[in-house]
Amino acid sequence: MDVNALLKKMTLRQKIGQLTQYNAALFTDSEAAVTGPAKKLGLSPEDLKTVGSVLNFSGPAEMKRIQDEHLAADPCGIPMVFMMDVIHGYRTVYPIPLAMACSFDPELVRECARMAAREASASGVQVDFAPMVDYVKDARWGRIMESSGEEPLLAGIMGAAQVSGYRGEGIDRPDSMAACVKHFAAYGLAEAGRDYNQSDCSERELREHCLPAYKACLDARAKLVMPSFQSMNGVPSTVNPLLHRVLREEWGYDGVVISDYNAIGELKKHGVAEDEKQAAQLAFGHECDVEMCSAAYFHSLEELLAEGKVTEEQIDRAVLRVLRLKEELGLFEDPYHGADEERAQSLYLCGEHRALARRAAEEAAVLLKNDGLLPFDEGIKKIAVIGPFADEHGINGSWSCRGRDEDTVTVRQGLSRLLGEDRVIYAPGCEAAGGCEGLDKAEAAAKAAEAAVLCLGEPQGYSGEGNCRTDIRLPGMQSELARRVIAANPNTAVLIFSGRPLAIPEIDEIAPAIMQLWFPGTEGGNAAADLLFGRANPSGRLAMSFPRSVGQCPVYYDHTSTGRPHFTDRAEHRGYASDYIDCAVLPLYSFGHGLSYSEFIYEEMTLSSHELKSGGAIEVNVRIRNNGRAGSEVVQLYMRDIAASCTRPVQKLIAFEKVHFEAGGERTVTFRVTEEMLGFWNFDMQFVTEKGDFELMIGYADHFVLRDRFRYV
């Protein structure tokens, strides 16, 4: 399709239509839509015929009907593009992105994204509003569940893996989707962890922590960018100069920018536009090409053009971006993009997808504590499974698209399948956030079994968009339940289900074993059973620190040094240090932490040289031995710049590799340290490398087992 020629044939109204997106509801029942939601938006039936894209539709049949009706009505015959939030699976749900990041396994993330793309594209989704790679460090914010955690390098790698998985062999293929990276920029720094709240972020914070992951996704060929809702450094992201200065000019991005839901409509409430017309002028002026779910462009672009406040070239440029996307997706040849009900049905929850979701749930789980209790022995006669999440199907997590709770395997079901129903005693104990009538029964169940699995957490509706918390402890009576159950049976392993790191110091104190399952998705219960009984060996490592209390938030591993560092040993505390009088400084579990049933011994780190010359590299070899059963270790390399012109992080992850070891196996893992890894943004916001000493550390944040130094000369 010659999109330039097509553009020439289009009327202004048709062009504006391409720059808008509305919910499928506006196209489902034309009568109701025109008198209902479309009327509310001030859109005429003629306007609806020109709309360029649709979000949130129910499946291939609806998508095809909308597309057919549209093509029959649109004189230019431009297909619509169908978009949706496919965040961690479509019908087969895999763990939430924060959990997936804990796998430290980009290939697994890519495979899961492919699986999502296969199901979603067969169902009519052509563009996915993912990955979300916002930098996060505050556990109160509900949307951290959608992120890859607090480390920008990890977030970028995981984001790029998602983009590549969605894309597959190319976005024109019937089993692929184009990725829309979001939310540009610094949405995750919403003050006080309150969604949609402003973020105030220094340029250093932006450059070092926020921007790299978006860039990594664009390098992996994400096709769209979505600015965030909130205002960043005083200006809402939809109209923030950053869009132009960084995205378009610095990075040379010439793809589609699509607003977030009603974000242009909200510019008036933000107090940066007097009215809808000014909102349209500002957003369009900042090259936000497509307006999602408000109608400022429809209402005002024509008038703005007539007044010379926007130009025809600007409109054409934006429309061309949209047309090029449609062309790349192959929509002019196949406006359904291969969507097919039968194919979709054969993919949903198929054996291959369930197996992958199970492996993902196993790899994403993090064994936080184990005093030798786990793994359990399969010879066990009776096991009690207790707690509000023991038989809970609602463990898919927020944004689980077309996933259904009833398809999800609970822990009780997983254990019953593994051991047989007669060996599993079940007692809910209490509700997740309410009544506690079952405490006595739970205690009795724990006493009647050789071991207990206590399933605690926060309901899935406590995280996700708009679901922030000021109290990140276990809700309701769950801590009391834990005290009673663990006292009744000391062989109790605690499983935690949550969309964020919870503050669980009281559980850490009394439980002999704790495993973080996050929201594990469709195969959660089977994965839990495998992990508890050693059929799977835990290999997840935390992508986000676990605070001891909400008062520590934000707590993150790569904080900069201070002139008065805290004392690791609380007994040494003498005041006037950067610490608290009522709480330790370090998180309960640091970034990178995670135990295994294997025993990995770090024997030696050797450097190819103790001098790094400009343009050169150092090879770092780390020898590791597995003293136990087969399992995987995440080998993590951190760096500290000893003295620089700006304060630098006390530890910074610069490379990692997930490595599988056979029982008793030995491996040498090699990393390359390059000059670029030493660089940082100096006071004048130039990216520089400065000569001097650097320390390399192996282990995980705050807990290193091997160290060495080199000099950059």
Active-site residue list: 260
Q: Write out the DSSP string of 291-303.
A: EES--HHHHHHHH
DSSP state of 92: S
- Scan residues 48-67 and list those touching ligand NOJ (CB under 6 A): 55
Q: Compare residues 147 and 636 and give the one whose CB is closer to ligand NOJ.
A: 147
The binder of ligand NOJ chosen from 62, 69, 74, 85 (CB under 6 A): 85
Q: Compare residues 129 and 184 and give the one whose CB is closer to ligand NOJ.
A: 129
CB of 182 to ligand NOJ, least distance (A): 5
CB of 630 to ligand NOJ, least distance (A): 40
State how far the Cα of 219 lies from the Cα of 217, in Å rounded to an integer. 5
Distances in whole angstroms, Cα of residue 627 to Cα of each of 101, 597, 612, 663, 665: 26, 10, 34, 7, 8
Sign of the Cα torsion 561, 212, 237, 294 reads negative
Map residue 150 onto helix, strand or coil. coil
Backbone angles phi, psi at 560, to 5 degrees: -80, 170
CB of 85 to ligand NOJ, least distance (A): 5
- What's the token pair of residue 682? 């100096």
Residue 195, interface with ligand NOJ (CB under 6 A)?
no
CB of 55 to ligand NOJ, least distance (A): 6
Q: Compare residues 227 and 330 and give the one whose CB is closer to ligand NOJ.
A: 227
Q: Per-residue contact track with ligand NOJ, 131 to 170, x per CB under 6 A? A: ----------------------------------------
CB of 129 to ligand NOJ, least distance (A): 3
The binder of ligand NOJ chosen from 70, 91, 182, 667 (CB under 6 A): 182
CB of 402 to ligand NOJ, least distance (A): 14
Q: Compare residues 146 and 363 and give the one whose CB is closer to ligand NOJ.
A: 146
- What's the token pair of residue 6? 């097509």
Residue nearest to ligand NOJ (CB): 129
Q: Compare residues 140 and 353 and give the one whose CB is closer to ligand NOJ.
A: 140
Residue 261, interface with ligand NOJ (CB under 6 A)?
yes
Q: Compare residues 97 and 476 and give the one whose CB is closer to ligand NOJ.
A: 97
State how far the Cα of 269 lies from the Cα of 278, in Å rounded to an integer. 12
Beta strands in 161-220 (DSSP E): 178-184
- What's the token pair of residue 492? 């109790």
**Do β-strands 492-497 and 451-457 pair in parallel, antiparallel, or remain unpaired?**
parallel
Within 10 Å of residue 246's Cβ, how many Cβ atoms? Answer: 19
State how far the Cα of 520 lies from the Cα of 97, in Å rounded to an integer. 10
- What's the token pair of residue 71? 């093509």
- Scan residues 594-653 and list those touching ligand NOJ (CB under 6 A): none
Amino acid at 624: I
Q: Compare residues 205 and 465 and give the one whose CB is closer to ligand NOJ.
A: 465
CB of 228 to ligand NOJ, least distance (A): 8
Query: What residues does 425 pair with on adjacent strands?
Result: 384
Q: Compare residues 55 and 125 and give the one whose CB is closer to ligand NOJ.
A: 55
DSSP state of 385: E
How many residues bind ligand NOJ (CB under 6 A)? The answer is 7
Q: Write out the DSSP string of 52-77.
A: -EEE---SHHHHHHHHHHHHHH-TT-
- What's the token pair of residue 667? 């491996």
Altogether, the residues listed in the chain come to a count of 713
Q: Compare residues 119 and 260 and give the one whose CB is closer to ligand NOJ.
A: 260
CB of 181 to ligand NOJ, least distance (A): 11
State how far the Cα of 102 lies from the Cα of 683, in Å rounded to an integer. 33
Distances in whole angstroms, Cα of residue 676 to Cα of each of 33, 295, 680: 55, 45, 9
CB of 616 to ligand NOJ, least distance (A): 42
Cis, peptide link before residue 565, omega less than 30° from 0: no
- What's the token pair of residue 307? 């007044």
Q: Compare residues 182 and 593 and give the one whose CB is closer to ligand NOJ.
A: 182
State how far the Cα of 391 lies from the Cα of 43, in Å rounded to an integer. 47
The binder of ligand NOJ chosen from 27, 57, 129, 656 (CB under 6 A): 129
CB of 29 to ligand NOJ, least distance (A): 21
Residue 402, interface with ligand NOJ (CB under 6 A)?
no
The binder of ligand NOJ chosen from 302, 328, 431, 465 (CB under 6 A): 465
Residue 429 CB-density burial (10 A; 0-12 exposed, 13-18 middle, 19+ buried): buried
- What's the token pair of residue 415? 């254990």
CB of 163 to ligand NOJ, least distance (A): 15
Within 10 Å of residue 82's Cβ, how many Cβ atoms? Answer: 32
Residue 175, interface with ligand NOJ (CB under 6 A)?
no
Of residues 246, 140, 244, the one with CA closest to residue 197: 140
Q: Can you give the C-alpha Rg of the chain in angstroms?
A: 26
| DSSP H or E stretch at residue 156 | helix 152-167
- What's the token pair of residue 42? 């001030």
DSSP state of 89: B
Within 10 Å of residue 491's Cβ, how many Cβ atoms? Answer: 19
The strand order across the sheet containing 224-227 reads 256-257, 224-227, 178-184, 127-128, 81-84, 53-55, 20-23, 291-292
Contact 502, 325 (CB under 8 A): no
Q: Compare residues 129 and 348 and give the one whose CB is closer to ligand NOJ.
A: 129
Residue 260, interface with ligand NOJ (CB under 6 A)?
yes
CB of 284 to ligand NOJ, least distance (A): 20
Q: Compare residues 261 and 518 and give the one whose CB is closer to ligand NOJ.
A: 261
State how far the Cα of 140 lies from the Cα of 114, in Å rounded to an integer. 30
Residues at the site binding ligand NOJ, with contacts judged by CB under 6 A: 55, 85, 129, 182, 260-261, 465
